[in-house]
Each structure stands twice: as structure tokens, then as C-alpha cells.
Structure 1
Amino acid sequence: MKKISESAVRRLSLYLRLLQEADAAGAETISSGELAERGGTTSAQVRKDLSLFGSFGKRGLGYSVQELLSRIRSILGLQSSWRVALVGAGKLGSALFSYRDFEARGFNIRAVFDSDARKVGTQWGGLCIRADEEIDAMVRAEEIDIAIVAVPADAAQQVVDRLVKAGVRGILNFAPARLKVPRGVALKNVDVTLELEGLSFALNSR
């Protein structure tokens, strides 16, 4: 399979959102120019991104909104649901758990873990927060595919090691730490501080 850049995958996710908005508005077709205008890119970039995954649309007629929605969902692996575990029931973990769009896109949080004994046993949306000692057994029992890690930096690597050993093959890490995972495990890092520093640089450079 050809190597696809992360930026192209992010734009594909953006196109998916734009197509969902167009579908909700009753649009049956959409052009690369319309996608480009709504997404802040160029029509050439839209066509280039989509061409990475095959042939879409017809020249002069644009793309069928429903067909392109279906194709992009399939490319992104959203045609089926994913079982997700959340490790870390602090303020960030609570905000992530409450994010409604996860479930709408097929990411179903099936287990929540925390090391704080005061939180263990409490209920979040029908789920009981489990002690971190239960990670290994619960991840296997629930057949977890993806784990969201929202723990302090000094605990992140140990948590990730346990998750991987238990069978998790996708990690979304919010801890400000450099983590190592074996080949075959996908790791995505979300560092809010880095993003804010990037904004600070952009504002300071004007």
C-alpha cells in the first residue's frame, strides 16, 4: 500500500465533516471547488488527496455526496465500530469521555481506568471507573482496540506498555511524554502545550 502522509489523512477527515454538513443541508452533489472553499484549501489539493485512494466523481458533474461519504468512511475505517478504553479519569479524561462525537463516529468507550481510589467505583455514563490494576484483564475481556491515555507524564510509558501487552493496537496519547511502542502499534500524540506554543509563535510573528 502506498504511504499516505498524516496531513492527507487529516484533510480526509476534514472532507468527511464537510460532506456530512452538505448532506445535512440536502446537497446531492459537491464539487472539488466547494470542498476546497469550505475547507480552506485548493480544488487541486482536494483532487490530489482523493486520487490517492482511487477514482472519484465525474468531470463537470462533481462528486455524489452520499457516495463520497461512504468511500471516505470506508477509507478511514469508520464502517465498523471501535472498542475504546480511557485511562485517566481526571479533568481531561472527563472532558474526553463527555465528547459526544466519539460515539457518533464509531468510537465506543467501553472501559475507564484510574489510579485514584476515590474515583474507582464511581459511575460515568453507566460505566464504572475501574482501578488501574484491572487494565490487563479488562482490556482483554472487552477486546479493546484503541486506548486514550490521559495520565501524568511520569506514568504514561508504564500504562502504554501494559495496554500494548494486553492487546491494544492503537494509542491516542495526551500525556506530555515521548512514548515508545513496538512495531505494529499505532501511536498518536496530542500535546496541547505544543499547539498553544505554535499559536504564540504565529501571533508573535505578525
Structure 2
Amino acid sequence: MRGCQGDTLAGPAFVHDHRRVFDFVRTFTSGYGGAVSDERAAANARTRNRGIPDATVARLPIYLRALHTLADAGQRTVSSEELATVAGVNSAKLRKDLSHLGSYGTRGVGYDVAVLVDTISQALGLTQRWAVALVGVGNLGHALAGYAGFASRGFRIAALLDADPDRVGERLHGMVVRHIDELPAVVAEGSVSIGVIATPANAAQDVCDRLVAVGVTSILNFAPCVLSVPDNVDVRKVDLSIELQILSFHESRKAALTSLPSALSDDGEDEYDEAVGP
């Protein structure tokens, strides 16, 4: 069986050593697109048919998460400027994004928080509960299986699957881990339309192929590789190492800017010393 990059699948064990993933899962379930990147250049054709740009779709969950925060604090209305600040985006961009949903707010009042939550939730398809199959119950899979944010955002873990005989049959968060070969039955029983891959890279493509073969059309991929899927399948990828590399870039830039004044000061002193002599 082939892996993400043509690897030979060395063995059946699905093991993953990523630990701190809750922020990234929260990102997916509330839809925040900052840390989760599209693997496909043409994102969701159905969304485009509704006239909502893909970039707007990626930001809608950011607004939804911010609105939930405001609602939990008891706030009933919010201005575009305040919502933009909470969401960390530009207010003009926010207003344009919301206009795609037919939501323009009220001058002098702003947006009704509850109404906007409902509007965005409907646009994102969150008014129904989605059944999710989680494949790979290593360290990462254990963390994902116990993440309470799935249920609170309308996602239900319908099944846990693995290929490792030592894990199959294990009871985890009230569910029994089933063998990956049971995937067709799992999807049929639970009307699963979303799959989560939490396996090593060399197993991910095979798992992806299995998910697609049984009719799963949306996949959240935690494996550090790019998956090959048909045009009608949407993939979102979470790669913690890439996020750390991006942070490394910003840290390097900040370090360079911090050291620049000191370097300029030292150069100036050297030139002065050469000019005046001892």
C-alpha cells in the first residue's frame, strides 16, 4: 500500500506523537482558518456556487468563535469594529464578508449577536450534527477522541478505528476501537461524511483512499503529508511542524530587528574611534 509520498506501508500500527492539538481542533470545529490550511486549490464548489468566496468561508468561523465569546459574556449586539477587533481582522473586510451572507447590520446599533451566530452557522452547515470517523488512536487520536469541543460545535465522533491489533477492542471515552477493515460498515451505520486521519504519514494515503472509497467526502488530515483525493473530496490539513516553522520565521525576524540598533551603534562607535584616533 502506498503512503502519502509513495512510501511502502511498513506496518499496521498507527502511532502519532503530536501532543498539543486542542487549539488546532478548536480551530477546525469552530472553523478558524488561521492554523488549518486548504490542501486543494479549488476549495468547495458548493460554496462557490452560493457566491461566497473561499477566503470569506475561511474567515466565517473566526467570526463565529468571536460571537460565541461575546454571547457567553451576555452581549446582545456588536459593532463591526468591535467584532473585527475580537476576531483579529480588518473591520472593512469583516463587513464585506458578512455582506455575502446578506447581513449588513443596523447603522448606529451594529449586529444582533444571536442572529449573526445563526446566520453564520447556517452558512457553515452547522445547524445539523455531523458524524465523524476518527482513524488512528495513538497519542494524537486519544487526545482527539476526548476533545469536548467536537460535540459543542455539532460534530459527533461516530467511530474510532485503527489497524493495530493491540488497539482494536480497546475502550476509549465510552467507545470501542474497531478495526479499519470495518470502515464500510461504520460509515453505513453512522452516516459518516467526515473522516479524521490521525495516523503516521506512511499510512495516511491508504486510510484516505479507504475513506473516499466508502463515500466520505470531507477529511481532516493531521498526518504530515499531502493527500491525493478526487475533485469532489475536500481536505483540510493540520501540520503542527509547519506552524512552528512559521513561528520560527517570525522569531528570527524579531531577533534580527532587535539586534539591528545595537549593530548600527557599534559601527558608529568604531567609525568615531577611527576618526579621532587614540
- TM-score tier (shorter): over 0.9
Distance 2:230 2:81 in 1: 41
Distance 2:246 2:151 in 1: 30
Q: Are 1:68 and 2:113 matched, yes or no?
A: no
Out of 201, 208, 211, the position equivalent to 1:163 is 211
The equivalences for 1:166-181 within 5 A come to: 166-181=214-229
Shift of 1:27: 1.3
Q: CA RMSD, aligned part only? A: 1.2
- 1:140 aligns with 188
CA distance in 1 between counterparts of 2:174 and 2:232 reads 32
Question: Which structure would you say has the larger RCO, counting Cα contacts within 8 Å and 6 or more residues apart?
Answer: 2
Does the 8 A contact of 1:84 with 1:108 survive in 2?
A: yes
In the alignment, is the contact (CA less than 8 A) between 2:52 and 2:100 conserved in 1?
Answer: no
Which residues of structure 1 form unaligned runs of 5+?
A: none
CA distance in structure 1 between the aligned counterparts of 2:253 and 2:98, rounded to whole angstroms: 34
* Number of the residue aligned with 2:179: 131
1:114 touches 1:131 (CA, 8 Å); kept in 2?
Answer: yes
Who is 1:4 aligned against?
53
Q: Is the 8 A contact 1:147 1:172 kept in 2?
A: yes
C-alpha deviation, 1:18, in angstroms: 1.3
* TM-score, length basis structure 2: 0.71
Partners of 2:60 and 2:204 in 1: how far apart? 29
1:18 corresponds to which residue?
66
2:169 is aligned with 1:118: no
Going by fraction, where is strand more abundant, 1 or 2?
1
Are 2:87 and 1:39 aligned?
yes
Taking structure 1 as the reference length, the TM-score comes to 0.95
Q: 1:55 & 1:30 partners in 2: Cα distance?
A: 13
Q: 1-side partners of 2:128 and 2:52: how far apart?
A: 23
Q: CA–CA distance in 2 between the matches of 1:163 and 1:75?
A: 25
Check whether the contact 1:170–1:187 (CA below 8 A) recurs between aligned residues: yes
**In the alignment, which residue of structure 2 is the partner of 1:95?**
143
1:87-132 per-residue CA deviation (whole Å, 9 max, x = no partner) reads 0000011111111111100110010001111111011122110011
Say which one has the larger Rg.
Answer: 2
CA offsets 1:12-58 (integer angstroms, 9 cap, x no match): 11111111111112111110011112122222121011112223311
State the distance in 1 between where 2:188 and 2:208 align. Answer: 14
Between the aligned partners of 2:182 and 2:231, the Cα distance in structure 1 is: 25
Secondary structure of 2:251's counterpart equals helix
Match of 1:105 in 2: 153
- In the aligned structure 2, how far is the partner of 1:12 from the partner of 1:142? 28
Equivalent residues, number: 205
Q: 4+ residue runs of structure 1 moved beyond 4 angstroms? A: none
8 Å Cα contact 1:171/1:188 also seen in 2: yes
Query: Which position in structure 2 is the counterpart of 1:55?
Result: 103
Other structure's SS at 2:235 match = strand
Query: For residues 164 and 175 of structure 1, what CA distance do their matches in structure 2 show?
Result: 16
Give the gaps of 5 or more residues in structure 2. Answer: 1-48, 255-278
Q: Check whether the contact 1:56–1:68 (CA below 8 A) recurs between aligned residues.
A: no
- Is residue 78 of structure 1 aligned with residue 126 of structure 2? yes
